[in-house]
Amino acid sequence: MLRPKWLKPGLKKQLLFGQTRSRLMALFERGLIHVYTGDGKGKTTAALGMTLRVTGHGGRVAFIQFMKGWPHYGETGGLASLGGVEHIVTGRPDFVDRVHPDPVDVFEAWRGFQKAAAALKAGKHDLVVLDEILVAIDYGLLSAFQTLETLAARAPHVEVILTGRGAPPELIEYADYVTEMVERKHPFRKGISGRKGAEY
């Protein structure tokens, strides 16, 4: 049986596992924008769930985290175990002072933003997750307007998720999906601290 000229040795096996699917056709014909915001738990968790679904279909994901330099988040190991995920972490391992942010916090936020802008424009990923970017905007580390411009300039097939509290009205208006996590109950109120595998 003759092999098509474009099917190079070893490529057939890669195609079976979806490793080169995005080079031949995009998972989404038209990428949409998701905003996961609110004070309740589940924003990053929802983004991780979407990542699992996309990779399950052979898609590629850029998962970019803002203000999450603490090295003990469970998703770091989880994302590393998935094929087709590029995981980029930015931020210091400390809390950010909202009123007087450290210059490193500003630098790290912009470093993440530049990585995000490049991924959105290149179109090599089916899904780009901007985890906690809404908090970075709310803290004044990034601009909502520049974020909108970058989203508008993305490759048309790229789906995007933005997570974090305090989503600005203009991003809520621009998004196709907006989900607000509302806290009804939380064990914090009972004095139970964050648990490995649940909160981090």
Band (pLDDT 50/70/90 cuts) for residue 166 is very high
Handedness of CA 28, 138, 52, 50 (dihedral sign): negative
Measure CA of the first residue to CA of the last residue in the chain; give whole Å.
52
| DSSP character at residue 155 | -
- Rounded CA-CA distance 135/164 in Å is 5
Band (pLDDT 50/70/90 cuts) for residue 200 is confident
Those residues with Cβ within 8 angstroms of residue 60's Cβ, 6 or more apart along the chain or in another chain: 22, 54, 84, 85, 86, 124, 125, 126, 127
Predicted pLDDT of residue 6: 42
Task: Give the tokens for residue 19.
Answer: 């490793």
Alpha helices in the chain (DSSP H): 11-16, 21-24, 43-56, 74-80, 103-122, 133-138, 144-152, 169-174
pLDDT by residue (tens digit) across 24-67?
579 999 999 999 999 999 999 999 999 999 999 999 999 999 99
Predicted pLDDT of residue 188: 79
Cβ-in-10-Å burial (0-12, 13-18, 19+) of 133 comes to buried
pLDDT by residue (tens digit) across 170-182?
999 999 999 999 9
Bigger pLDDT: 73 vs 160: 160
Handedness of CA 125, 51, 129, 96 (dihedral sign): negative
* Crossing angle (nearest 10°) for helices 144-152 and 103-122: 20
- Computed over every residue of the chain, the mean pLDDT equals 89
pLDDT by residue (tens digit) across 89-142?
999 999 999 999 999 999 999 999 999 999 999 999 999 999 999 999 999 999
Report the relative pairing of strands 177-180 and 159-163 from DSSP bridges: unpaired
Bigger pLDDT: 18 vs 137: 137
Residue in the block written with tokens 């998703």: 75
Predicted pLDDT of residue 21: 47
Contact 166, 198 (CB under 8 A): no
Contact 120, 154 (CB under 8 A): yes
What proportion of the chain, given as a percentage, has pLDDT over 90? Answer: 76
Residue extents of the structural domains in the chain: 30-182
Question: Measured in whole angstroms, how far is the alpha carbon of residue 128 from the centre of its chain?
Answer: 5
> CATH for 30-182?
3.40.50.300
Write down the pTM of the prediction. 0.84
